[in-house]
A and B are shown apart, each in its own frame.
Chain A
Amino acid sequence: NAGVMQNPRHLVRRRGQEARLRCSPMKGHSHVYWYRQLPEEGLKFMVYLQKENIIDESGMPKERFSAEFPKEGPSILRIQQVVRGDSAAYFCASSPGPQEGYTFGSGTRLTVV
């Protein structure tokens, strides 16, 4: 049973480009959570999704960031018109239910040049 798969592991984008980060949850998990770790800071919650629904997006920046978890396929975190301050490690976690044990992926490290 594969764990939470995130790709790419490393992503380099120029300022103004779009970044797409993918997260495939563990088999049987229908809840996905995205976290961001800025340099020298702890992981901070961004968004919580269930299949086709956003449950909690209280940690998402108001502009340029969006997330989806379609019925089929991975969850996608999309950052439009990236800026240097978006450089961070983005972690995804998944769980079988809203209050059940969750498993983290190994993260995507985004570098904006």
Chain B
Amino acid sequence: GNSVTQMEGPVTLSEEAFLTINCTYTATGYPSLFWYVQYPGEGLQLLLKATKADDKGSNKGFEATYRKETTSFHLEKGSVQVSDSAVYFCALSESTGANNLFFGTGTRLTVIP
């Protein structure tokens, strides 16, 4: 079956620190992988995605590389800002359509000045 295991939070970092949020997955086929972000009081927003092995998704300074050999899709950012404080969700989909998304539990990130 499909599942996503995500690094437990909460994570608290100082501004300009390096961020890594780990995500590993189990899938029966060749999924697409996603990171969603939920800012306080808002809906989930797609942050970045990768659709095949070795693809790197990037957006707003965040990056994640689809690693088939380790079944991982870790989220990284070189220098976090206070405005990055949010909950981050890793997800996979083996086919298109929002009815086929499998999510991790979410990791709450708090960045302090």
Contact = CB atoms under 8 A, between A and B. Distances in A.
Interface residues of B, number: 23
Nearest to A46: B99
B89 A43 contact: yes
A105 B103 contact: no
A91 B43 contact: yes
Bin chain A's interface residue count.
20 to 34
Contacts of A45: 99-102
Interface of A: 3-4, 6, 31, 33, 35, 37, 40-45, 48, 55-56, 91, 93, 95, 98-99, 101-107
A106 B41 contact: yes
Given A42-B4, A42-B6, A93 B41 contact: no
A99 B96 CA distance: 5
A113 B33 CA distance: 37
Interface string B19-57: 000000000000000001010011111100000000000
Contacts of B105: 40-42
Nearest to A57: B99
Given A56-B99, A93-B98, A104 B106 contact: no
A12 B104 CA distance: 26
Given A91-B43, A104-B43, A44 B103 contact: yes
Given A95-B98, A99-B97, A42 B106 contact: yes
B4 A104 contact: no
Nearest to B99: A48
A91 B44 contact: yes
A55 B38 CA distance: 27
Given A42-B103, A42-B105, A48 B98 contact: yes
A6 to B, nearest CB: 8
Contacts of B100: 45
B43 to A, nearest CB: 4
